[in-house]
Structure 1
Amino acid sequence: MSLSTAPGGDERLRSKPKKRLAIIVSHPIQHFVSLYRALADSPDIVVRVFYASRIGLDPYFDAEMNVELAWKMDLLAGYDHVFLAGAERVKSIGFSTIDSPGLEDALDAYDPDSVMVYGYNQRNALRAADWGHRMGRAVLMISDSELLQRRAFWRRAVKRLLVPLAYRRIDAFLSVGDRNEAYYRHHGVPASRIFRSPFTIDEGAFKRAAAVRAEVRAALRKDLGLEPDAIIALFVGKLTERKRPQDLLRAVSALADDGVTVHAVFAGNGALMEPMRQEIEALGAPGHLLGFVNVDRLPGLYAASDLLVHPSEADPHPLVCSEAACVGLPVVLSDRIGAEGATDIARSGENALVYPVGDVQALAAHIRSLAEDADLRAAMGRRALEIFGELDLHRSVDGIRRAIEAGPRRGRRA
């Protein structure tokens, strides 16, 4: 139990001087809004988010998703935020584009005790880390980097040289999971400077959907023209080669040939949309392409499904695993998913089944085991809810709190 949720915890926190935290981020991102609001509600932290761009606030075309996106949620309400000078002119996310010359002056004016950055691959993150190091303020960094990806030798060599240099400016490392912590340790970060702070989701929306699971389950099957007891394996993400959605389609097709019907439902769009549509028609496969599904409809879609499948060949720490756990879904993952680990959101043999990436036969076997065993699905679903309870929003805020309390490694300059 975190301090903020323990009996009397809020009172003890209110008795401490509030710490001022500056969060430096490229643009409003839907998944992080819950964290910012929770930090704003914290009795011992004052937070301000500094945005370098207005990307995400207005409809924009996502080339990889092949669709115009307009998030159906308020990305700015409930927390203090500012847009840095020139934010309206920034139209893409990259190292050189996320570069706000006025950031240091904005930090001087806010005078935070700590600054928090997302990785080191944007110039603003380096600006903020340099400012914090120079002023003696604690610099916190959060990332989802891991060691699962197969990188070229030269890339590994460059990272070996550059990452420790970047990390010299960091006082505390916020980890999102086991693989992320292993990455930090691989690059020389001591355990005493690593604090678990999982990436957040809109817990309230997913819990509300889970509360009406029977209702949304029946509605989805009616919409798709399926029997009330049809088994649904859900895929959420971009329909791209890296995500390997066709592996799921081919797995359920093979199961159908063997007399086991599992319906694969795909929530997302991308370059593979039309090839997959053609494959479904050619094979008569039990696949359903929903296209892009906005954030207001996603929680119900999870709650209406029986399991989540994430077959990607490279995904550091996908939030789909947290979203599935929040509604009590077991997950089937490739072994290239960085969210799997003994203390992470996806735990093999508990709420997750893991298979070698690209092995459609092994994927089909895992799906079949869950489809044919309702007790196993239920047990893994219950375990998913328990695990999510260990890694929820309270844990995220508490990790940041502990990182702030650890303080900078050098004294504060006035």
Structure 2
Amino acid sequence: MSAKDPGTHHFWGLRNPSLVSQVEAFSPDAVLLMNYNYASLYNFLWQWNSHRVPLLFRGDSHRLVPPTGFKAQLRRQIISLIYQRFAACLYVGKANYEYFRYHGIAPNQLFFSPHAVENNRFFAQVEQAKQAVIAWKQELGIPAHHRVILFAGKFEPKKRPLDLLQAFLQAQLPQVSLLLVGAGALETELKEKATAHPHIYFAPFQNQTLMPRTYAVADIVVLPSYGGQETWGLAINEAMCLARPVIVSTHVGCAQDLVHAYQNGLTFPAGDVTALANCLREAFSNPQRLQKWGMQSHQIISSYSYKQATEGLRKALKTIKEKSFKF
């Protein structure tokens, strides 16, 4: 490591002059990269003999917020040149697939390797989590008969928890509470806006072991993110493992894959508070349907697992191996 300020917080934070030789020492059949946005990885890409040992890439970027202007076109050209170094790319979902196609990756070079969480761990804790919810609602002060809208994540601008709070107030849902779980820069503002309104509750970040309980308390889970940085939204995977219906904005990377309108949830135009309020009203207008949406979530998420992610990698490796024999 030769960086003056080592770390992943900036481009020059990773500088490893011996990276190529160290990877070569493993005598790999292929090399998989998950990132390239550091000086050391750019250096590796240009030095590595990809004709001898092929490179693969797995990323999750999308263009749900299309960039514009000259800089965007220049960036497209540069990224397209980078992707020419890879024999195959693994895509995590539909929006990510379109991103790779936009940058010139051919369909026969793309392999589905979905974003996933440890599904079986969540599945195994469903009943235990449901039992824990009774005491937790009492601890938080949420009326036992209230249904719950949940936001779980960082209280930061890109996640737009304020949009959800405003939509909740606008929706005026009877016997429904809003629970915001997390912490971050917007916490003070959120609590100030919630002060005069009943049935808005807060809980700090929950330990990973408590996340099944966190999702189990919800009747619906909402991720209202805005902008291009919500490349997937693994919280939605976790919520669906607990058979929760979901509402996400159109800027959330997993929206096209995991949220099937009126089957397990709803989507709304990112940043549109009124549209989100309407989604909340629609979701709670039919309690029996909402429960069915949750069961459908559980079924959908079963196909987004580590097994499927691994299978995509295996298919990519098999394909590039077969191609190498043809030369």
TM-score, with normalisation over the residues of structure 2? 0.90
Aligned-residue offset at 1:116: 1.0
In 2, Cα distance between the equivalents of 1:345 and 1:266? 22
Of 307, 323, 330, the residue aligned with 2:245 is 330
CA 1:190–1:150: 2 relative to 1, 3 Å? closer
Counterpart residue number, 2:59: 143
Q: In the alignment, what sits opposite 1:109? A: 25
Q: What do you get for the CA RMSD once the two structures are aligned?
A: 2.4
**Letter of the aligned partner of 2:234 in structure 1?**
L
* Shift in CA distance, 317/238, structure 1 to aligned 2, threshold 3 Å: same
Q: Distance in 2 between matches of 1:86 and 1:261?
A: 59
Aligned residues: 323
Distance 1:285 1:173 in 2: 49
State the shift of 1:86 in Å: 7.1
Which residue identity lines up with residue 317 of structure 2 in the other structure? I
1:97 aligns with 2:10: no
Partner of 1:35: none
CA contact (8 A) 1:252 1:261 kept: no
Structure 1, residues 35-63: CA drift from partner, whole Å, max 9, x if none?
xxxxxxxxxxxxxxxxxxxxxxxxxxxxx
Matches within 5 A, 1:42-61: none
CA pair 411-99 structure 1, distance change in 2 beyond 3 A? farther
Partner of 2:273: 360
Partner of 1:369 in structure 2? 282
Partner of 2:259: 346
Unaligned ranges ≥5, structure 2: none
Amino acid at match of 2:247: V
CA distance in structure 2 between the partners assigned to 1:150 and 1:130 by the alignment: 28
Q: 5+ residue gaps in structure 1?
A: 1-84
Whether the 8 Å contact between 2:34 and 2:58 is mirrored in structure 1 is yes
Q: Work out the CA distance in 2 between the residues paired with 1:200 and 1:101.
A: 33
The 1-side partners of 2:272 and 2:174 are apart by 19
Deviations 1:249-271 (A, max 9, x none): 11222233xx5232221222111
Counterpart of 1:349 in structure 2: which amino acid? Answer: Y
Q: Which residue of 1 aligns with 2:182?
A: 268
Q: Percentage identity across aligned positions?
A: 26
Q: The residue matched to 1:394 in structure 2 has which SS?
A: helix
Other-structure match for 1:384: 297
CA offset digits 1:310-369 (Å, max 9, x no partner): 11112221111211221111111111112122xx12223322301112222221221122
Q: 1:320 aligns with which of 223, 227, 235?
A: 235
TM-score, with length taken from structure 1: 0.72
In the alignment, is the contact (CA less than 8 A) between 2:226 and 2:270 conserved in 1? yes
CA distance in 2, matches of 1:285, 1:166: 52
Distance 2:71 2:238 in 1: 32
> Which residue of structure 1 lines up, in the alignment, with residue 209 of structure 2?
296
Whether the aligned pair in 2 keeps the contact of 1:221 and 1:228 (CA below 8 Å) is yes
Aligned-residue offset at 1:98 = 2.4
Specify the code of the residue in structure 1 equivalent to 2:75: K
Residue number among 167, 179, 192 corresponding to 2:108 in the alignment = 192
User: How far has the Cα of 1:184 moved from its partner?
Assistant: 0.9
For residues 380 and 364 of structure 1, the distance between their equivalents in structure 2, rounded to whole angstroms, comes to 18
In 1, Cα distance between equivalents of 2:8 and 2:24: 27
